[in-house]
Chains A and B, each alone.
Chain A
Amino acid sequence: MNSAVDILLVEDSQDDIDLALHALRQGKLANSIFVVRDGEEALDFLFCRGAYSERSFDHPPKLVLLDLKMPKVDGLQVLKQVKNDPRTRTIPVVIMTSSKEERDLLEGYNAGVNSFIQKPVDFEQFRETVKTLGMYWLVVNQRPVNHESRIAAETGVKNGGPE
């Protein structure tokens, strides 16, 4: 459980996980995918705590694919915590959900989501979508690699990170 993770997939449904992985695999993007099954686990992973305490803020995922409806801590709560913390703020978060409720959209964008995607019912479309966004965020998009998170860590925000 160390080193670089390209995509953190936060999804409670095994079916959706399988489909997503299938699509990503077909898009040659499945090299470094880490899957967590609920919001709490996602937060542990991202904030390097609990089961993931040995992880370092120095190696955040390049993309978080976040489902909204999940047990325990839902997607929007995860998003808010990530975007409220300077150590995690720069991590791109894309919400992938079944619904496209205006309410959720608004809340997501207000919390600082980087993209909001409704999962198409049609698998062809789904595959295309996943491929496109993976290409975009992992290849096309430029991000300040580890820089800001490091600065944030150095300025004393210590959240259970290992020495």
Chain B
Amino acid sequence: MPDFMPHGYCFQWDPLVLWLHVISDGIIVLSYFCIPVALVYLARKRRDLPFNWIFWMFALFIMGCGATHLLEIWTIWHANYLLSGIVKAITAVASAATAILLIPLIPKVIALPSGDQLHAVTYELRLQVIERERAEEKVASTQAERERVQAALAEHQCALEDLQLAQSALHRSQGQLTAIIQSAMDAIITIDEDQRVVIFNAAAEKMFGCTLAEATGKSLERFIPQRFHQGHAEHIHRFAHTGVSNRAMAAQGAIWGVRSNGEEFPLEASISQVQSGSRKLFTVILRDITEQKRIALALAEQAEELALSRRSLEVQTLMLQSVLDSISEGLVAADETGKFILWNPAATRIIGLGAANVPPEQWTDHYGTYLPDTVTPFPPEQNPLLRAIRGEACTAEMYVRNAKLEIGVWIESSASPLKGKDGVARGGVVAFRNVTQRRLHEREIRKLNDELEARVIERTVALQAANHELEAFTYSVSHDLRAPLRHISGFSRILLEDFAPSLPAEAQRHLQRIAQGAARMGKLVDELLNLARVGRQSLTIEPTRLSSIVQDVLALLEPEIAGRNVEWKISDLPVLECDSILVRQVFQNLIHNALKYSRPRSPAVIEIGQTEKNGQPVIFISDNGVGFSMKYADKLFGVFQRLHRAEEFEGTGVGLAIVQRIIHKHGGRVWAEAEIDRGATFYFTLGSCEHSESKTIAAAATSGDRT
């Protein structure tokens, strides 16, 4: 590219020319740049202007002119003429195009109305605009209306669907409702304003004994006792006016219903009302509370009974309390943890201390309890109350000594568990008493007993010594006394026999008497010795058949029986436990006596048999002899006691004494019944020696005899 000189050189850098150009061009540039802006702004603001595009054309070519002037300034210092030329060319094109386009436009611009015309037109236009705006408003409102209608339509559609849904739901719920109403336990009755029955469910049918068909359309009054009709009607009326949807009727007082059979019964009821179209319906829900009333009544009775029993319990408790307070025995109870729940005044009195809150293992220390030896502390685990709590009944004796009870006491206690209804131990109770006095007495008694024992031993020894002495005495009597008698008897007999011829008759008689006296004394001595022997002899008890003894004795007495007319009546005698030798002696003496005292009789009747007294066998021996007076009966068994003279009936007066001694040794009893000249009967028992076993043996022996 050729190296041009900047345009300033043309001005020879003359500041005046140069700056003249520069400033002028500058201002032109500014102006030429501002005009298009204004034009474009106008064209944009007034898009309604006719031929609006011509403003854009003007703006363009003026902008081009401005650019050429800007390049004029630039080329003063910078020789960029090509750029300047291109800009001028563009400006030229734009100017030319504007000019070309402007020419056909002129006629049109001339045809444009003038200002007034424009005003008129504008006014016209304004009118038209207003008109149009109105029309448009109308159209808009119509549109809104249509939209609203459409929306409403849609809404209706929805509502219709909902309604259908609701309707089917309603059908369902109606079915359910009917089912509920029919199956309700309570009677449900719906009536209209005239109290005519509309709904009458199964429970109602049952309650009133009336079918749905019978009830429907009838007045509710037939289910209400006559006396409540008025009140009921008023009540319904008032309720209708409250507008309250439902309310319980029980609050209004007792309600009574009447069944079709005329029976009245108490009711619990609630009522509700609902407006159904023009109709107003009332629904009552009824519950037969006969049972409840009955229960309530029973409950009331029970409550009364309870109150009664509670009162009596109180009385009893009071009584028990006073008993507990007044008894002399100490009474203490504790629960299962060992906490005292009862401690009567006597308990405090006896052991000096009251109930203390100490654990069971410390009772021994606290109350000072000891074993009966008075020094060994009572083992806590063996405390009777503790044992009772553990479920064990027990008794114990202990010694108590503590600060309040310096002189100790012995107590005797008996403890038992306290059991609940279920039988589980819920603690224990112990009753105790002060036995100190008794213990002292016991000790005294023991001492006396010991003394007595010692004395008995002493006496026994003395008695044994006396017995020995007696034995020695009897022995020497038997020996020494009999010898001189024998001598008297012997020598008097020798005198009588050998010297009879030289003796006077009287001397002989005296000698005879001496001999007889000696003989008699000898017999007495022998009998006495017998008696003494019986007393000394110990019994040899064995089952003894009395019948055989009788047979033996009769054989023994044969010499005495011989030559006598005796009628024997001997029955079976039992087998008894006794000493056979001594009892033989008894039979011998008694039968001998019977024979002796019946000697004047012919026949002599002697009976030997048994009877019974107080369940004991009694043996008897009776005769029809001379008998005796009962006023001497007490002398009968005495030693040397005789009721007859020796000349009448011989004897020593020892035989019955021996009998009595033998019977007494057997623990039995002997007695006699007699009458002068009417005979005598001797009875005896063998006392404690016979028993049921021997009776059995007796029976066996007796029956054995008979077979």
Contact = CB atoms under 8 A, between A and B. Distances in A.
Given A15-B487, A99-B475, A22 B494 contact: yes
Interface stretch (B478-486, B620-628, B683-691): B478-486
Contact of A121 (B485, B491, B494, B533): B485
B574 interface: no
Nearest to A122: B519
Contacts of B519: 121-122
Nearest to B496: A123
B544 interface: no
B52 to A, nearest CB: 191
Given A122-B519, A123-B493, A97 B479 contact: yes
Which residue, of A97, A101, A120, A122, has the highest number of chain B Cβ atoms within 10 A?
A122
Contact of A123 (B483, B494, B533): B494
Contact of B486 (A19, A68, A100, A102): A19
A89 interface: no
A16 B483 contact: yes
Interface residues of B, number: 24
B475 A98 contact: no
A14 to B, nearest CB: 10
Contact of B515 (A13, A19, A22, A123): A123
Interface string A119-141: 11111101000000000000000
Interface in B520-543: 521-523, 525-526, 533
B489 interface: yes
A101 B475 contact: yes
Contacts of B491: 15, 19
A69 interface: yes
B483 A98 contact: yes
A101 B478 contact: yes
Contacts of A68: 479
A124 B475 CA distance: 24
Given A19-B491, A22-B494, A123 B486 contact: yes
A3 B492 CA distance: 36
Contacts of A102: 533
A128 B480 CA distance: 22
A120 B486 contact: yes
B490 A126 contact: yes
Given A16-B483, A99-B482, A121 B493 contact: no
B518 interface: yes
B582 to A, nearest CB: 14
Nearest to A119: B486
A124 B493 contact: yes
Given A19-B494, A121-B521, 13 more contacts: A19-B490, A68-B479, A98-B478, A98-B479, A98-B486, A99-B475, A101-B478, A122-B489, A122-B519, A123-B486, A123-B489, A123-B515, A126-B486
Interface of B: 475, 478-480, 482-483, 485-487, 489-494, 515, 518-519, 521-523, 525-526, 533
11 contacts: A19-B486, A22-B490, A22-B494, A98-B480, A98-B482, A100-B478, A101-B478, A121-B482, A121-B519, A121-B526, A123-B486
Interface of A: 13, 15-16, 19, 22, 68-69, 97-102, 119-124, 126
